[in-house]
A and B are shown apart, each in its own frame.
Chain A
């Protein structure tokens, strides 16, 4: 497992500069606007993209079938992917909190709620996408992945167009407090599905 995570990080290090520039860019925007929500949600997106990028690299070099001839089980390949995602989501979360704390005028309940919501959303998005990527691969799974991401957004947009009223602020707040638990459940279910997909996969 440690070997697999190390492999991904070393393989992605060329992109580290790009990620760093993104962090600085959204950090600056956050400070200027006195609002860290943009920073927090963009960092979450970057964190989700990292394991997906790692998967697409592996797919290109046909790493998985080779790795399976080493003392590595199918399960650890799956779990290491999730772990990589979680590591970067936590980094994104900690960064967002730090930004809030250092610039104390950003340290508002609203921003903190957004940090929590971003983390939960990141885990949920990752959980929704990963089984698709394990089943179809990054190349073939890309369109389906977009679909999974945009259907809920489209749904909300249509709902508001149709005049269905949005829930009030209190409901949203309590939903956000609950969201890490919901995300954790979705996460575990997703790992279970990915494991059973990957166990049967042929290379």
Chain B
């Protein structure tokens, strides 16, 4: 299989935080959602991918090229949206077009103007008067207006209202119509990712907890609802997380491995993430 993005055993250590042995593989033509709490390491991982910070160990390839030695040959093909708009505040969209025309060889002016029109962004408005949503839309328009084959986005939809998010997600789905295109998107708004992603990668405390296709996740996990008595009889190895309430127990389980007659609800990606984080916190408390 050809991969648009591949991280192998990537490690980066800070004084108070460590990204450990990160392995991520995004096949070409797919969308991968990169989820985790604030501070889990999403932004650090994205900075490593973009070679904005140095890794301590491991390899990263984007579109089959090493992101340190061969980065310059693929920058035209990478569209990036960072968590905040990064254009100098005194500029407007028309000026940004003139600047980027000189920076990207493959810059597509018409496409840029069409996207701005679609996002209803005025050409002569200074960026300092933009709302957060407009800044994000501008960044997204830029990321799509050159010969991008992969979009790498950090929290591109956070802090935006549902209508704008919907618009942006539609734009992504349009981009992915071309099967050689891929998207890697981090977010803590999981409902957005659940709508569009093929793969979900979940990072917690600097470690990858799971990285699977969304369908596998939704097929394999379920939420078991039972009383404390019933719970005693269940094989503990299939339980991935527990929540107790006054009516009994809710547990995240591998639902295909349970035998017997139990009430099992569907688990959303958000449920899976929350159960697993809580479970880890529980283990930390025990030790």
- Asked if A202 and B54 make an inter-chain contact with CB atoms under 8 angstroms apart, the answer reads yes
Partner of B103, one of A14, A57, A71: A71
A6 to B96, CA, bound (A): 10
Q: What 1/0 flags go to B101-128 for Cβ under 8 Å of A?
A: 1111100000000000000000000000
Q: Determine which residue in B51, B76, B84, B102 has the highest number of CB atoms from chain A within 10 A of its CB, and name it.
A: B102
Interface size class of B (residues with CB under 8 A): 20 to 34
A11 to B127, CA, bound (A): 11
Partner of B50, one of A7, A10, A13, A69: A69
- Asked if A203 and B75 make an inter-chain contact with CB atoms under 8 angstroms apart, the answer reads no
Q: What 1/0 flags go to A8-23 for Cβ under 8 Å of B?
A: 0011111000000000
A202 to B50, CA, bound (A): 11
| With A69-B75, A71-B72, A203-B47 as contacts: A11 and B90 at CB distance below 8 Å | yes
Partner of B105, one of A11, A65, A66, A71: A71
CB-CB under 8 A from A6, the residues of chain B are 98-99, 102
User: Does B91 count as interface, using CB distance less than 8 angstroms?
Assistant: yes
- Asked if A70 and B82 make an inter-chain contact with CB atoms under 8 angstroms apart, the answer reads no
CB-CB under 8 A from B89, the residues of chain A are 57, 60-61
| With A6-B98, A10-B99 as contacts: A63 and B86 at CB distance below 8 Å | yes
Closest to B12 in A: A202
- Asked if B86 and A62 make an inter-chain contact with CB atoms under 8 angstroms apart, the answer reads yes
Q: How many residues of chain A are within 8 Å of chain B by beta carbon?
A: 28
- Asked if B103 and A72 make an inter-chain contact with CB atoms under 8 angstroms apart, the answer reads yes
A: residues with CB less than 8 A from B are: 2-4, 6-7, 10-14, 57-58, 60-63, 65-73, 200, 202-203
16 contacts between A and B (CB under 8 A): A3-B101, A3-B102, A6-B99, A7-B91, A10-B90, A10-B99, A14-B90, A57-B88, A58-B88, A65-B82, A66-B82, A68-B51, A70-B103, A71-B75, A202-B47, A202-B52
B: residues with CB less than 8 A from A are: 47, 50-54, 72, 75-76, 78, 80, 82, 84-91, 95, 98-105, 152
Cβ-closest 4 pairs across A and B: A66-B86, A3-B102, A3-B103, A69-B80
